[in-house]
Amino acid sequence: MTLTFIIDALVTVIGITTPILLAASGELVVEKSGVINLGVEGMMLVGTIAGFAVTFETGNPWLGILVATLAGATAATIFAVLVLSLGANQVATGLALTIFGIGLSSLIGSNYVGIAIDPVESPFPDALANDSFWRVIFGHSPFVYFAIVLVLAIGWFINKTRAGLVLRAVGENDLSAHSIGYPVIAIRYAAVAFGGAIAGIAGADFSMVISPLWAEQMTAGRGWIALALVVFAGWRAGRLLAGAYFFGVLMALELYAKASGHAIFPSQFWAAMPYLIAVIVLALISSRDGKDGKAPACLGKPFIPNG
Amino acid sequence: MTKFTRRDFVKAVGAASALPLLGASAQAAEPFKVGFIFLGPVGDYGWTWAHDKGRREMEAALGGAVKTTYVENVKEDASAIPILRDLARQGNKLIFATSFGYMDQVLEVAKEFPDVRFEHCTGFKRAANVSTYNSRFHEGRAVTGTIAGKVSKSGVIGYLGSFKIPEVVMGVNAFTLAAQAVNPKIQTKLVMIDSWFDPAKETAATETLANLGCDVIATHTDSPAPLQFCQKKGIFGFGQGADMSKFAPKAHLTAIEDIWGPHYTARVKAAIAGTWKSEDFWDGIKEGAVKVSAYNASLAQDAQDAANKVIEGYKAGSYDVFTGPIYDQGGALKVKEGQKMGLGDLATIDWYVKGIQSA
């Protein structure tokens, strides 16, 4: 196993991990505020088509990313109106948002089937980005660097800042937060919109970097993996980063094992492995005492101020 | 044309039950209703896209005589049963089920609706009202394999598969045998990704194969994503189901195009005329069901000549890639010198030929 080979494999891992890491980071903030939005897949798809369509029409990928962000946030805001202002059930509304996102993206995307755009490439000079060694650090799209910076920033925000403390308070005990004067609903609106914006960016990663084309449902269920990852990480940013890369390594390992002819395990086992490990880790987390890895206490519950 | 997603469909069936009351006096001659269930979205630009293209061609050919309904994203599990049932109840008299995994579900529903005719694509089980139809895609893969054998410098070719089903197994076998016919040293690395459509995983698998030394990568999954990666990496690939050259102008050597329109038109016509009966169709290059796209301008003349020879051979009936001697991966002789594999053997094939590395 040569160094080049390891670097090539790492590049694959980083590529497939990034959209999952992004979407999960956004959802982490949403869930920390006490809201569960199961519409990640739908919001991603809205971002996927928005990013692609705008980049294709204008030739400007940055504008594409911006519109993907806004599209994800808009989809999330529709969800927020339903669950936060109108008191709709969060689980049902989130599932509906996924179906809505699939349908809307397919509708808009029907004009974009069979078209390709240029992929968004590394912001660094070619000499570094294409170097057989340095490409492991410099050879990625801006999405990769943004995802890592974002998850670290979210960890810092939640744990080290006053605003993060307020966010946690809203998620852990909305009535107390309300009684000392914090605007619970407004904070949740902001968190949900933020999660949607990031899901939109995650979606754009698919249609602008990974495979620069539009095809219906091209996120292929990654939104659900992102949701599982938040639970898997015990609602902690550091573990979310580690967990996302762990999933990415597993996916790449499966492909390398198959391609090199040493399956190690049967194909079906590889396909089931991420879920198997998720179940084991969840069992381990729930069997441990203490505040470690617990869901925010108000997760999924509507906020009904008393008086 | 009516377009439904699987979830809309459940709702729509409820609403549609009120329609007959309104429409009773609308038309004297009702159009013949034809249903389709699709595996992927019609916008996949691959397998489902090609079937939908066939459906649209059939609709255009028959005009007002026919009305089609399709349901996309139908899973290959028990959930296909109620969808097939609903299509039958809605008055569709001929229903096409366009993926291998619908086989037993089609047979089950066909038993409940003896006056509805069904056609199952790529399967091998039939009944009085169930036909099967397939294309000899492996003929196209013999052409692309020939080109891959000529183009590959490393002698190692990648092959991206979906599942280990006969359709995929015969495809990679035909591809490898044809490549070995022009370069006996060819090795094929096969990766099954356990999905027909997942652009991110298809890209990652293509990247993996390229990292392991493959310089030509063929696909038996449905999106153009692998070709885009080949283009970026400066290696070569083939379109799957449709000409995908615009996704990868340099990497796209040629494509195997699925042409379903003539079959759909002929079968719907037969059903309307009352001459439809249960049959097994298996058309190929000769009948025009499998088409090889224009070659990339950069493809060397001798590779083009070798590929044309295979195409002409299939048209004339003088060439068959599954002609012995054929050995399996372990080196055991499976087909003796001079003998050929029949379509029946191919329809249930579950072993790989020598030179394929699989896990």
Query: Read out DSSP for B99-158?
Result: SGGGHHHHHHHHHH-TTSEEEEET----BTTEEEEEE-HHHHHHHHHHHHHHH-SSSEEE
Helix then strand then coil, in percent of chain B rounded to 5, is 40, 20, 35
* Contact check, Cβ <8 Å, B41/A106: yes
CB < 8 Å to A143, chain B: none
Q: Could you tell me which CATH class the domain A3-287 is placed in?
A: mainly alpha
**Residue A189 Cα, gap to closest chain B Cα (Å):** 29
Write out the two tokens for A83: 């669950």
d(CA B98, CA B339): 32
CB < 8 Å to B50, chain A: none
d(CA B182, CA B333): 20
* Contact check, Cβ <8 Å, A255/B44: no
Contact B289, B260 (CB under 8 A): yes
The pLDDT value given to residue B23:
40
Q: State the SS3 of A90-103.
A: HHHHHHHHHHHHHH
Query: Between the CA of residue A19 and those of A149, A203, A245, what are the distances in Å?
Result: 14, 7, 11
List chain B residues with pLDDT less than 70.
1-28
**Closest partner residue to B359 among A217, A222, A257, by Cβ?**
A257
Contact B296, B321 (CB under 8 A): no
Question: Could you tell me which chain A residue has the CA closest to the CA of B5?
Answer: A103
Q: What is the pTM of this model?
A: 0.86
**Residue B209 Cα, gap to closest chain A Cα (Å):** 6
Stronger pLDDT, B145 or A110, i.e. the higher one: B145
> Which H helix or E strand runs over B240?
strand B236-241
Length of chain B counted residue by residue: 359
**Residue B9 Cα, gap to closest chain A Cα (Å):** 13
- Rounded to an integer, the average pLDDT of A181-196 is 97
Write down all domains in chain B, each with its CATH number in brackets: 2-20+27-135 (3.40.50.2300), 137-258+289-357 (3.40.50.2300)
The verdict on B109 touching A (C-beta cutoff 8 Å) is no
Phi, psi of B255 (to 5 degrees): -145, 155
Angle CA B76–B228–A129, to nearest 5 = 130
What type of residue is B74? V
Phi, psi of B33 (to 5 degrees): -95, 130
Place of tokens 């069901």: B289
* Contact check, Cβ <8 Å, B204/A260: no
Q: What is the mean pLDDT of chain A?
A: 91
CB < 8 Å to B160, chain A: none
The verdict on A252 touching B (C-beta cutoff 8 Å) is yes
**Closest partner residue to B192 among A116, A206, A267, by Cβ?**
A267
Neighbours of B18 (CB within 10 A): 8
User: Where are chain A's structural domains?
Assistant: 3-287
CB < 8 Å to A261, chain B: 189, 357-359
Question: Could you tell me which chain A residue has the CA closest to the CA of B163?
Answer: A267
Peptide bond into B325 cis (omega under 30): yes
- Rounded to an integer, the average pLDDT of A24-48 is 97
The pLDDT value given to residue B241:
85
- Rounded to an integer, the average pLDDT of A182-205 is 97
The pLDDT value given to residue B24:
40
The pLDDT value given to residue A288:
63
CA atoms within 13 A on the CB side of B78: 0
Stronger pLDDT, B47 or A154, i.e. the higher one: A154
Q: Which has the closest alpha carbon to B192: B177, B202, B180, B178?
A: B202
Q: Is the dihedral of CA A225, A228, A234, A235 positive or negative?
A: positive
Complex-level ipTM = 0.89
Contact A116, B224 (CB under 8 A): yes
CB < 8 Å to B207, chain A: 8, 11-12, 15
**Closest partner residue to A9 among B191, B211, B229, by Cβ?**
B211
Question: Could you tell me which chain B residue has the CA closest to the CA of A9?
Answer: B208
The pLDDT value given to residue A292:
59
**Closest partner residue to B247 among A116, A258, A259, by Cβ?**
A116
Contact A154, A28 (CB under 8 A): yes
Phi, psi of B134 (to 5 degrees): -155, 170
**Closest partner residue to B199 among A8, A218, A268, by Cβ?**
A218
Stronger pLDDT, B10 or A161, i.e. the higher one: A161
The verdict on A115 touching B (C-beta cutoff 8 Å) is yes
Sort A160 into a burial class: Cβ within 10 Å, 0-12 / 13-18 / 19+: exposed
The verdict on B2 touching A (C-beta cutoff 8 Å) is no
Question: Could you tell me which chain B residue has the CA closest to the CA of A106?
Answer: B43
- pLDDT digit string, tens, across residues A244-281: 999 899 889 888 888 887 767 776 777 777 777 777 77
Sort B301 into a burial class: Cβ within 10 Å, 0-12 / 13-18 / 19+: exposed
The pLDDT value given to residue A306:
67
The alpha carbon of residue B104 and the mean position of all alpha carbons in its chain are separated, in whole angstroms, by 19
d(CA B58, CA B269): 9
**Closest partner residue to B358 among A119, A215, A261, by Cβ?**
A261
The pLDDT value given to residue A1:
61
The pLDDT value given to residue A289:
52
The pLDDT value given to residue B283:
92
What type of residue is A215? A
Question: Could you tell me which chain A residue has the CA closest to the CA of B214?
Answer: A259
Tell me: pLDDT of A190 over 90: yes
Phi, psi of B190 (to 5 degrees): -110, 130
d(CA B259, CA B262): 7
CB neighbours of A23 closer than 8 A, spacing ≥ 6? A40, A44, A198, A199, A202, A203, A222, A223, A226
* Contact check, Cβ <8 Å, A259/B44: no
The pLDDT value given to residue B1:
52
